[in-house]
Amino acid sequence: MSITDYIGQSMPRVDGPLKVSGKAPYAAEYRPKGLLYGYVVQSSIANGKITAINTEEAENLDGVVKVFTHLNLPDYINDNSDYSDPLAPPGKPFRPLFNDNILYNGQPIALVIAETFELARYAAGLVDIDYSEEKFTATIQENLANATHEDVEEPPEPRGDADSAFAKAKHQIEVEYQQPRHYHNPMEPHATTAIWNSDGSLTIYDKIQGVANSKGYVCGVFGFDEDKVQVISPFVGGAFGSGLRPQYQLFLATLAATELKAAVQVSLTRRQMFSFGHRPANIHRLKLAADEHGKLMSIQHTSLGETSTFEKYSEPVVDWSGLLYECENVKLDYQLIPVQAYTPLDMRAPGGTSGVYALECAIDEIAEKAGIDPLEFRLLNYAERDQNEDKPFTSKELRECYKQCADKFNWKERNPKPRSVKKGNNLVGYGMATGVWEAMQKESSAKAEFDADGKLTVSTATADIGTGTYTVMSQIAAKYFGIDMDEVTFKLGDTKLPESPIEGGSWTVSSVGSAVKNACEALQEQIFALAKAHDDRFKDLKIDDITFKNGEINLKNGDSLRYVDVLKLAQKRSISVTNKEKPKDEREDYSAYAHCCIMVEVHVDEDLGVIRIPRVVNASAAGRIINPKTAESQLLGATVWGIGMALEEEGMVDKNFGRIMNANLAEYHIPVNADIKDIDVIFVDEKDEIVNPLGAKGVGELAMVGVAAAVSNAVYNATGKRVRELPIKLDHLL
């Protein structure tokens, strides 16, 4: 294969053989000599204090090494360290064991260390705890009166006069939508293996989406010098935002390893995975108005979001309502409601998934009120400019997404009258929605090294949470260094490698990929400089006079010189370069987003209310697609997750105890194979020379943003019933 073919080609995953053979090591699979195991004890109340904690029975068991509680926390732990990372959720990550205060049900309050995991788990059941309980609020519905703007990230400024325009408009709707908590549940539970080394340093294997976050946390809280901590995370079995912040098992494993001068592993159970972070529950209140022609006159969106009592967690929930459609009168409001729960956490397209769900359902409702087809209504109100920031888009092919999606789906066959189409005993409905996500780029570094054996090694500290980072970066490196992809090795997930942002926000390709491109091109320049110094054919040439291809420098007269021969002439074993890439200044003058159109067909059993989704079509415009195979997988996964959001996922809170009742994968329902039928993914061509050097936009979070709304709208078209809360259940339709 010519090296020019790698970008845009559906290449298989380079890490695939390791994963399918079980040779890819994850955080809980490291087994150093003398490894000890930790098991977390959790609180059984939602608010109050620990009045007594008895660990004697547990510690008397043979093989139990120690039980850590707030009573024996060492003095050197820094509760006031200024840990922060601009790419992680703001605030201080929760640190367990600092005092006797209970802030939420499931809070880690003790750690049992033993010689085996099973023994640690058994001993944890012997730890006896007494509490004094206090009143608490478990859900936002119970605490609406205490909604606050304090310390809340402000949405875009109002424009026009939304109230007046609403009052004067011909068509009006005023609606409320509700969405419950959602939990990440990646396949790999969170775990940390912390190894104390004889020189007083720590080697830590952590489940994290950015190793620099974990290192910064450990150094800040435990007072380690930076050269004494190495964090490694080469493989991550899914994360979806749950690994953006260091989670509490990192603190506990590091604590035990430091105190015991040993190797300690703390892994969380599936139930414990429900005890930190989640997509917050939201209540959305929307008022939309349109004129007699269907032109939007007023958009008002208020969102009440869930946060913890000890931290303010904000998301850009309402911003999208001022962005997606052209409207001169917009008023957005975002408030937080504290409850006794762990602080929410970024979760796949945070804010967008929640806010656009409500907006796109409301758009369907106002379109129907105006008597206009939902697709036609969206085209009528198409935004050619970002009115939130008053900037042009770097590129936007959403119109073409609408067209190609409608053609593939056969949208023109949709019957606008609800409950009018049947197949057997099933009511049939068509629904659609728009998806959107930011096309971001963050500053990133990468190192490229070429050796005399013809091998290129590219490295950066980023992560691969299952998105295909290893593969895509290898493709970029092969393309821009001009070498066969089989000769490329890509390394990631180690704090000793060049610094990069966390893998999140769908910005990894644009950020890390741009740095890899930069480093590989800089390495080519080094090779050319060596060729000029050691081969007279190149002495008077400029870099524009030659090309790099198939591991050779090629002259216009047909002569060539292999990269490896350049190193031999220069008597070098290897050459390397480390470069940094940051967003270009011109990006500040533009607004950058990826867009998609999602269309869904639903079948609803008229007697039983059972909802099935036989087909989904997604047409996405996301700039330059580096690897259609891995990109398609991201869109398919997002679509499946969106179906789960619409029909199944719900974190059920017990108001009497403040705990999650369905903290397991048997009762926290997610889609299974039988729920998923045909999903078609279309990539719409989109050229973007501004967004980043690669012209690529992220796709990982894009598709999920619109799926739940498309399903909800299709259910209405099938049944004539507007369900304004998620998930849509049988009893909503019967």
DSSP character string of 363-389: HHHHHHHTT--HHHHHHHTB-SEETTT
Phi, psi dihedral angles at 528 (to 5 degrees) = -65, -40
Instruction: Collapse the DSSP code of 554 into the 3-class scheme (helix H, G, I; strand E, B; otherwise coil) and give the result.
Output: strand
Contact, 138 vs 46, CB < 8 A?
yes
pLDDT at 5: 77
pLDDT at 1: 41
In terms of Cβ atoms closer than 10 Å to its own Cβ (0-12, 13-18, 19+), residue 323 is buried
- Contacts of residue 433, defined as CB under 8 A and 6 or more positions apart, other chains included, come to 356, 360, 364, 597, 598, 706, 707, 709, 710, 713
* CA dihedral of 176, 177, 178, 184, whole degrees rounded to 10: -150
CA distance 437 to 352: 7
pLDDT at 94: 77
Contact, 351 vs 278, CB < 8 A?
no
Exposure string over 416-450, b if 16+ CB within 10 A, otherwise e:
eebbebeeeebbbbbbbbbbbbbbbbbebbbbbbb
Instruction: Collapse the DSSP code of 272 into the 3-class scheme (helix H, G, I; strand E, B; otherwise coil) and give the result.
Output: helix
- Contacts of residue 621, defined as CB under 8 A and 6 or more positions apart, other chains included, come to 395, 396, 397, 398, 400, 401, 594, 595, 596, 683, 684, 685, 686
Distance of CA 236 to the CA centre of its chain: 13
Phi, psi dihedral angles at 497 (to 5 degrees) = -90, 165
- The parts of the chain modelled with pLDDT lower than 70 are 1-4, 79-93
**Residue bearing tokens 């869109």:** 635
Contact, 83 vs 92, CB < 8 A?
yes
Phi, psi dihedral angles at 313 (to 5 degrees) = -115, 120
Determine the Cα angle at 204 with ends 457 and 15, to 5°: 40
Tokens of 167: 């009052």
Q: Which residues are catalytic?
A: 701
Phi, psi dihedral angles at 646 (to 5 degrees) = -70, -40
User: What type of residue is 72?
Assistant: N
Instruction: Collapse the DSSP code of 123 into the 3-class scheme (helix H, G, I; strand E, B; otherwise coil) and give the result.
Output: helix
Tens of pLDDT along 472-497?
Answer: 999 999 999 999 999 999 999 999 99
**Residue bearing tokens 């205060």:** 101
Contact, 482 vs 463, CB < 8 A?
no
- Contacts of residue 209, defined as CB under 8 A and 6 or more positions apart, other chains included, come to 236, 239, 241, 243, 244, 463, 465, 502, 503, 504
Q: DSSP letter at 24?
A: S
Dmax of the chain from CA atoms? 86
Q: Which CA distances in Å does 618 have to 304, 397, 408, 409, 613?
A: 30, 14, 9, 9, 14
**Residue bearing tokens 């942002």:** 501
Phi, psi dihedral angles at 306 (to 5 degrees) = -85, 140
CA distance 217 to 209: 14
Q: What is the CA radius of gyration of the chain?
A: 27
CA distance 121 to 118: 5
The H or E element spanning position 253 is helix 248-260
CA distance 276 to 485: 40
Query: How long, in residues, is the chain?
Result: 734
Q: What ranges make up the beta strands (E) of 148-238?
A: 171-179, 191-196, 202-206, 229-232
Other CB atoms within 10 A of residue 335 CB = 17
Strands 36-42 and 456-459: unpaired
Phi, psi dihedral angles at 733 (to 5 degrees) = -110, -15
pTM for the structure as a whole: 0.96
